[in-house]
Amino acid sequence: MKNGLVIKSTGSWYYVKTEEGEILPCKIKGTYRMKGIRATNPVAVGDQVTFSLSDEGSGLISAIEDRKNYIIRRSANLSKAYQLIASNIDQAILMITLKQPKTHLEFIDRYLVSAEAFRIPTILFFNKCDLYSAEEKSEMQALMALYSGIGYKSISLSLKTHENLDEVRSILSKKVSVLSGNSGVGKSTLLNQLDPNLKVKTSKISDYHRSGKHTTTNAEMYFFESGTRIIDTPGIKGFGTVDITKEELFHFFPEIFSHSKKCKFHNCLHVNEPECAVLEAVMNQQISESRYRSYFALLADMEDKYRK
Ligand code: GDP
Ligand code: ZN
């Protein structure tokens, strides 16, 4: 029996790095059930596993150590089965750009809801600031103020001019980070800049629309100096959530949650109820309209789901 860390998952194989530094392809024995959720892909990058080695040099995973946390996504749209993506994560990095491509605010907020649900601290990297006009710069500043006000550390950077790259390095240092963001925001560029020997394939602007289709790697952990570990999830835009009900959705918007304590009704959904402290805070601009709009859009999605 050997022990190791899962560093790459392709859907059919898990690559496990042993304590001696060997990397071995492994499969999982039979079916492995996870409490509460149906997972089609039960091993995650970041898992600590025990496996036995066959004569052909591949391994059979027989045990997975308890996870500190994990992220999942739905195997397919509307599917009830989930795929484990990564586990034992210290922080999530969401890379955002205001142009080329523009990251939508609702995408950011949906991502943050998932991160809150899995209790993974999230940091926002606003990349490509070398490209922004004065107007776009002030838009970025406003977003950074909005999100840092809620509690999400936000920094601006340029991977082209290397602005704030030292701060990026120090945020990532000694941590396991999962790196997310729309295709084209600069994720591969960041990995290559942390280690120029890596040569992760970067995409051209024209590749945006067919992102993810040509790749079969679900997740991969990269190792850098000063103990930096980054899990890249190519082709996966964000991650899903399990079992959030519409009644508790607002718990995952920290600022909405904190205002909700002053709502008249304890079961207030903050839509049209009388004496709703959340709606009042939106009116007074204590809660941002865009955040409230994202909340409302997610809630509407859930109502849709329940109607089916
Ligand atoms: P990914 O899909 O998130 O991995 O994005 P890539 O790393 O492939 O980057 C997409 C494109 O954006 C590439 O052509 C990069 O050279 C470019 N890019 C990345 N970061 C920056 C930046 O800070 N400024 C500018 N101007 N271009 C960047
Ligand atoms: Zn309310």
What's the pLDDT at 79?
Answer: 66
HSE of 63, CA atoms in CB hemisphere, 13 A: 6
What's the pLDDT at 198?
Answer: 84
Q: What number does CATH give the domain 85-232?
A: 3.40.50.300
Q: Indicate which residue's Cα is closest to atom 8 of ligand 1.
A: 202
Q: What are phi and psi of 19, to 5 degrees?
A: -60, -25
Is pLDDT at 29 greater than 50 in this prediction? yes
Ligand nearest to the CA of 125: 1
Q: Which atom of ligand 1 is nearest to the CA of 161?
A: 23
What's the pLDDT at 35?
Answer: 60
> Regarding predicted confidence, which is higher, 236 or 188?
188
Q: Indicate which residue's Cα is closest to atom 19 of ligand 1.
A: 186
What's the pLDDT at 238?
Answer: 63
Check pocket membership of 130 for ligand 1, CB cut-off 6 A.
Answer: yes
HSE of 158, CA atoms in CB hemisphere, 13 A: 12
Mean pLDDT of 29-56: 80
Give me 89's structure tokens.
Answer: 């994560």
| Angle, alpha carbons 230-231-235 (nearest 5°) | 135
**Averaged confidence pLDDT in the chain:** 89
Check pocket membership of 159 for ligand 1, CB cut-off 6 A.
Answer: yes
> Regarding predicted confidence, which is higher, 110 or 199?
110
Mean pLDDT of 163-176: 97
Is pLDDT at 213 greater than 70 in this prediction? no
Least confident of 3-7, 77-81, 169-173: 77-81
Q: Indicate which residue's Cα is closest to atom 11 of ligand 1.
A: 184
Task: Give the domain ranges of the chain.
Answer: 2-66, 85-232, 249-307
What's the pLDDT at 55?
Answer: 85
pLDDT over 70, % of the chain: 86
Give me 152's structure tokens.
Answer: 């999400």
Q: Which atom of ligand 1 is nearest to the CA of 203?
A: 8
What's the pLDDT at 10?
Answer: 86
* 197 pLDDT tier (thresholds 50, 70, 90): confident
What pLDDT, in 10s, does the model give residues 94-141? 999 999 999 999 999 999 999 999 999 999 999 999 999 999 999 999
If phi over 0 gives left and psi between -120 and 50 gives alpha, with beta otherwise, what is residue 36? left
In terms of CATH architecture, what is 249-307?
A: Orthogonal Bundle (1.10)
Check pocket membership of 270 for ligand 1, CB cut-off 6 A.
Answer: no
What's the pLDDT at 11?
Answer: 74
Ligand nearest to the CA of 276: 2
What's the pLDDT at 209?
Answer: 44
Check pocket membership of 128 for ligand 1, CB cut-off 6 A.
Answer: yes
Is pLDDT at 214 greater than 90 in this prediction? no
Angstrom distances, CA of residue 143 to CA of 52, 56, 98, 108, 220 = 50, 53, 10, 11, 30
Mean pLDDT of 160-179: 97
Q: How many residues does the chain have?
A: 308
| Angle, alpha carbons 57-212-177 (nearest 5°) | 70
In terms of CATH architecture, what is 2-66?
A: Beta Barrel (2.40)
Check pocket membership of 46 for ligand 1, CB cut-off 6 A.
Answer: no
